[in-house]
Amino acid sequence: MESQVVDIAPYRKDAEVQEAETQLRSVADDARELVIVDDASNAVALDLLSRVTKAGKRIDALKKRWLDPLNKQVKLIRDDFTNMAAPAKEAEGILRQKTGTYRAEVAEAHRKEVEAARKEEERLRKLAEARQARAVERAEEKGVEPPQPAPFVPVIAPPEPLAKSVETDGGAKVTYRKQTHFEIVDAEAVPREYLCVDEKKVGAAVRSGIATPENPVPGVRIWITEEPVVR
């Protein structure tokens, strides 16, 4: 299915949008040219600030008017497709967990087989050494040259390692990759370099007056400035 191109031109042709944009550009030009040298020019700056704030709010309101219906539609579509995909997501999680568990069980069985093969090989090697030692003792008792030890050849081959990639009947290739996971079990024991300051909590403490320039949060600098607010 071909993707549909959405025409964004309609809002650009809207007379109110065009007027708001022109007004805002005009105020911005005036702001760039203004030089504050006295109370009178500062009053002009404050008036421009009021105008630019109102113009900006008007642009935001127009944007909201055009976007809200689209955002609602997008949310409905996104939620609908999310609900459609939910069974797939659930099934994927179940299958990943099950095949991962099976893979771990096979790997453990493989490890045990390898360990058993190694132990059996070690047992046979020691048995061969004991036989050689007895043969040497008997040769010494008879006063003859002891026999040369036979080279030890392992007779038990360890099982083949697990394949990292598997091709399904449907032709898909599935590759197993090692993933390292973690969880915090004792937050107090985590070294400082792995910690992160919660700026939202610090900001809330500053705004509420709990933290002040005279009584700041340790390690935080707090200062006060005066900024114009247009109402």
Per-residue pLDDT of the chain (231 residues; tens, 9 = 90+): 455 555 557 888 889 999 999 999 999 999 999 999 999 999 999 999 999 999 999 999 999 999 999 999 999 999 999 999 999 999 999 998 998 899 889 888 888 888 888 888 888 888 888 888 888 888 888 878 877 877 766 666 666 777 888 888 888 888 888 888 889 999 999 999 999 999 999 999 999 999 999 999 999 999 999 888 777
- pLDDT of res. 155: 61
In this prediction, residue 158 carries a pLDDT of 62
| Token digits of residue 105 | 């069980």
Radius of gyration of the chain (CA): 39
CA distance linking residue 200 with residue 184, whole number of Å: 22
Measured between alpha carbons, how far is 4 from 63 in angstroms, rounded to an integer? 22
Residue 227 exposure: Cα atoms within 13 Å on the Cβ side:
4
N-terminal to C-terminal alpha carbon distance within the chain: 51
The tokens describing 226, both together, are: 């005066």
- Which two structure tokens, joined as six digits, stand for 93? 């999680």
Handedness of CA 46, 50, 55, 60 (dihedral sign): positive
- For residue 31, the model assigns a pLDDT of 92
Other beta carbons within 10 Å of 152: 13
Per-residue pLDDT, 134: 87
pLDDT for 122 equals: 87
CA 155 to CA 149: how far, in whole Å? 17
User: Residue 127: its pLDDT value, please?
Assistant: 86
Cα–Cα distance measured from residue 135 to residue 148, given in angstroms and rounded to the nearest whole number: 10
